[in-house]
Structure formats: C-alpha cells, structure tokens
A and B are shown apart, each in its own frame.
Chain A
Amino acid sequence: MMEKLLSPFRHLGALTINAIWRLGFASRFLLAILLNSGQSLLRFQLTIREVYFAGVLSLIIIVVSGLFVGMVLGLQGYNTLARFGSSDALGALVALSLLRELGPVLAALLFASRSGSAMTAEIGLMKATEQLEAMSVMAVNPIARVVAPRFWAGVISMPILAAIFNVMGIFGGYLVGVVMIGLDEGTFWSQMQNNVDLHYDVINGLTKSLFFGMAVTLIAVFEGYDAVPTASGVSSATTRTVVTSALVILALDFVLTAFMF
C-alpha cells in the first residue's frame, strides 16, 4: 500500500534527476562543441556543406509557410481592424506580429522539424553504424568533424531563414491587404514604416532567431550523439528533438521577450 502511494513520487523524482542530468550533459556537450569548433571554422567547407542541408533545403517550407502565415494575418487582421475602423494599420499589424514573434518562432519550429530532426537522425544513425566510433579510432574527433559543423550551420541558417520568413509573410499580408482587399498601398507601407523600429523590432527579432538556432541545433546534435544506437533509439531521439525543441523555443521566446521588449 505504502509502496503504491510512494511510487508516483519516486517516478517524479527519477524524471527530475534524469532531466537535470541531461541538462548538465547538454551543457558540457555545448562546451565541447565550442572547444572543438576550430576545424569547422578554419575548414569552412565542412560548415558550408551543412548549411546546404540545414538551410537551403529548408527554403521551400519556410517560403511557403511564411507566405501563408502572412496571408492569414492579413485576412484576420483586416477583419478585426475593420471593426474598429482602423484597417489602415494592417501593414503595421502584419509587420510587427511577424518581426517580433511569429517570424522567429514559426521559422524555428519549422527548422526544428525539418532540419533538427534530420540532424538527429543522421548523427544517430552514424552512431548506430559505428561510423562515429570508426572516426574516433582513426584519431579524428567526431565532435570536431561531425557535430560542430552542423551546430554552426544551424546557428548561421536560422536567422537567414527567419528573415526570409518575415519578408514572405509581409509579402503575403501585402497580397491580401492591398491586392485582394484593396487597401491603399501607400498607407499600408507608411503605417508599417512609421511603426516598425529597426532596433526594437527587426534586430531584436533576428537576435531571437539566433538564440533559437543555437538551442534547436544544440538539442538536435545532442539527441543524435546521445541516441541509443538502435533503430528504435534513433527514432525516439528524433521525436525527442522535435518535442524538446518546440518546448524550448516557446519557453526561450518568453524569456527573451521579457528581456528585450
């Protein structure tokens, strides 16, 4: 009886200890990546290759999603603003929502599910097929050769993808607001320009996405490197990457927003 009562607490305790242990391990892993980054920056070709896989191949999903998010913002924003007779502010609404929140957050969520999961699966499979071990037996450090280039590629790609997402979203809002609904083009842009501040909105938004890029790629490479080297181990590591990334992006977004705005 006592055992039954205590078991949920025991379970909770085990979960907490495990979470803290993994957090500590991930921090040490980040340190190891930073210490072993010399090669990925000196032999930049390694990083460029990963930028291709992480960034360029995510372009389609980022462009299409950005466009649609902007169009939905345009429609919903117009309907709401029109009730208060301030549909002129549509440009400002679309730009500010995208630049401050939606652009960085949605681009990071898409990046985590498109590129983060691929990174985890790739590194996990390299581990499962002894490729990482083969590398280390060849006196080549897998963190320097495999992990660090992917990490830096993620950090480089994320702000670029977020900026592209923002531009596509604003274009989507423009399509709906100006081309479809027929708002005045000049008002749309001038309202945007009067209300968007380079430092507060554009740069802070991109800084956010830089942090998201670091967090997502760290989670992705860590989960891959830490995966149980079996088929089911790699698949659950991939799932964990997407779930953990999503939670971390949203939590980090709150913290960063509180600090920035």
Chain B
Amino acid sequence: MPSDSFITLRNVGFAYGDRPILQDVSLSIPRGKLIAIMGGSGSGKTTLLRLISGQIRAQHGEVLVAGQDVGRMNNAELYQHRRRMGMLFQFGALFTDLSVFDNVAFPLRELTKLPESVIHDLVLLKLAAVGLRGTEKLMPAELSGGMARRIALARAIALDPQLMLYDEPFTGLDPISLGTIALLIKKLNDALGTTSIMVTHDVHKSLDIVDYVYFVANGRIVAEGTPEQVRHADSPWLAQFVAGEPDGPVHFAYPADESLAQAFGLQEKA
C-alpha cells in the first residue's frame, strides 16, 4: 500500500438487513489523485461513497480518511471530517428555496464567520470557476440540468475541500454539459490538489480524466488499474463493461427461480 494514501479501506463489509451490499472491499487512494469507482447499477458503488462521507457506517473493517476511521468518529469528529469534504450529488441537490448566490454562499454562511463582503467575493470566485458568474440572482428552478450541476459543484468547493466526492456526476446530461462537467472535475482536481473520488457508470468520459479506476460488481472489487491498463485488459468482465455488451459475464437476465416455460406451466417444475 502506498505510504501517502489519503483514503484506505480495509476489508470493508456492509449489509442492509441481511442483504449484503459490500463484502471484503479493500482499496487505497493516494492524496491528490482523481479516482473513479465504476460498476453497474446496484453494484454497491454509491454505498462505498456513503461510507467515506460518513452517511453510513461499515459493519466490518475500517474506512480510514487521513488516518482516522470514519466508522468510529463521534459527532464532533464527523463534523470536522465533513467540513474538509465536498460532495456533488447525483442531481445537484440545490436548495430550491434559495437563489444561486445563496446556495453557493450556504456553506460559507453556515460554517464560517466570514463577513458578508468576503462571502460575496468568494461566491463570485467559485461561480467564475465553474463559468457561471452572472447567474447569482437566478433560482434553481430556472437553471438547466447542466447548469444546476455546475452550481452544485461551485457550492461543493466553496470551502476548498481536501476531499471531493462525486456521485454519478454525468447522469442525465447532454454531451456538451457532460464534457463541461468532466473538464471542471479534472481542472478543479489539478488546481486545488484535492483528492477526488467519482462514482460513475460512464466509462469513456471517465477514462479520459481519471488517474486510476476500481471496478465494483456484486459488492466486491473485481478489477482495477490505470485507464491505459483498463483499455487493454483481457478480462472478459471489463471487456463487456467497457464495450457495453448486453450479455457476457454479467448476465442479461435476472436469475429467476424457474424458466419461462416453467412459469407459463408448459413444463414440470424441477
């Protein structure tokens, strides 16, 4: 394991009731890198993100962020942990009753004691960083999906976090917006020196910008590597995922208890 690892997961397991989501996951993310966690829907990748943000606690193993186990933090420590962390939600999760300016200013006003004039300047800087200065007075309902995502990104980086978490940042965007968000994520990671973790199932766009990729399936890490290694891997699972084949190691059909013929009563049950 590399010595400058910022986030380390050791043998992490998590289950909702008796339905296991993650089993024995170990990974390590170096400081300042942009990492993607990929996998199909329901593979447990979002759960992984929520473990790191402290929204849920691992039932087995440990989730270390800067040497501290997130699962054993008390409220004050969790609060500290979240102050140095930014998170971009799948659909932005902008506060619908606040204007764009107030949305971006929200973490500054709630968590710092900065004077209003400084907050004003910082908000404009963050909006300029995502290229949306001039939208301050708009309400979230007046924004397009891509713009909302960029405003949410500006809000997430308002406190210059050491750690950025992206939950499906590309979902539901047109190709231009998607490209813009991808570029911003890359640029912000490089400029701020943030460690970034991105959960996504968009293979091609992600492979262009990330430093390292983990693939999750059925609650386990099934493959990992740099984008270059992934593109040339001979794993049939990766080949299916990257090429987007409907059938392969991941089956097209849900594993039903009985065959279609049995379900129609055309054949005796086994």
Direct contact between A and B judged by beta carbons closer than 8 A: yes
Q: Does B214 contact A (CB under 8 A)?
A: no
Query: Can you name 30 A-B pairs with beta carbons within 8 Å?
Result: A122-B97, A125-B96, A126-B95, A126-B96, A129-B91, A129-B93, A130-B89, A130-B91, A131-B93, A131-B94, A131-B96, A133-B55, A133-B89, A134-B93, A134-B95, A135-B95, A136-B55, A136-B82, A137-B82, A137-B87, A138-B82, A138-B106, A138-B107, A138-B110, A138-B111, A139-B79, A139-B82, A139-B83, A140-B106, A140-B110
1/0 per residue, CB under 8 A from B, across A45-73: the answer is 00000000000000000000000000000
Query: Does more than half of chain A's interface fall in helix, strand or loop, or is it mixed?
Result: helix
Question: Cα distance A135–B93 when bound, in Å?
Answer: 9
B37 CB to closest chain A CB (Å) equals 17
- The CA of A90 and the CA of B109, in the complex, are separated in Å by 56
- Asked if A137 and B111 make an inter-chain contact with CB atoms under 8 angstroms apart, the answer reads no
- Roughly how many angstroms separate A130 CA and B53 CA in the complex, as a whole number? 14
Contact bitstring B26-63, A, C-beta under 8 A = 1, else 0: 00000000000000000000000000010100000000
Query: Which B residues are CB-close (under 8 A) to A100?
Result: none
Residue A145 CB within 8 A of the other chain: yes
Q: How far is the CA of A126 from the CA of B93 in the complex (A)?
A: 8
A137 to B107 alpha-carbon distance, docked (Å): 11
Q: Count A/B pairs, Cβ under 8 Å.
A: 45
Please list the residues of chain A having a beta carbon within 8 angstroms of any beta carbon in chain B. 122, 125-126, 129-131, 133-140, 145
Which 7 pairs show the lowest CB-CB distances between chains A and B? Answer: A139-B82, A134-B93, A130-B93, A137-B87, A140-B110, A139-B83, A139-B79
- Bound together, the chains give a CA A145 to CA B102 distance in angstroms of 14
Shortest C-beta distance, B7 to chain A (Å), equals: 16
CB distance from B84 to the nearest CB of A (A): 9
Are A137's CB and B96's CB within 8 A? Answer: no
Which among A122, A134, A136 has the highest number of chain B CB atoms within 10 Å? A134
Within 8 A of A (CB), among B61-89: 79, 82-83, 85, 87, 89
Q: Which chain A residues border B106 with CB–CB below 8 Å?
A: 138, 140
Chain B's closest residue to A130 (CB) is: B93
Is A134 within 8 A of B96, CB to CB? no
Contacts of B79 in A (CB 8 A): 139
Q: How far is the CA of A134 from the CA of B89 in the complex (A)?
A: 7
Check B111 against A140 for contact (C-beta < 8 Å).
Answer: yes
Instruction: Give A100 to B94 CA distance when docked, in angstroms.
Output: 45
Asked if residues A139 and B55 are in contact (CB atoms below 8 Å), the reply is no
When distances are taken between beta carbons in the complex, the residues of chain A under 8 Å from B107 are 138, 140
Cα A61 to Cα B87 in complex, Å, equals: 42
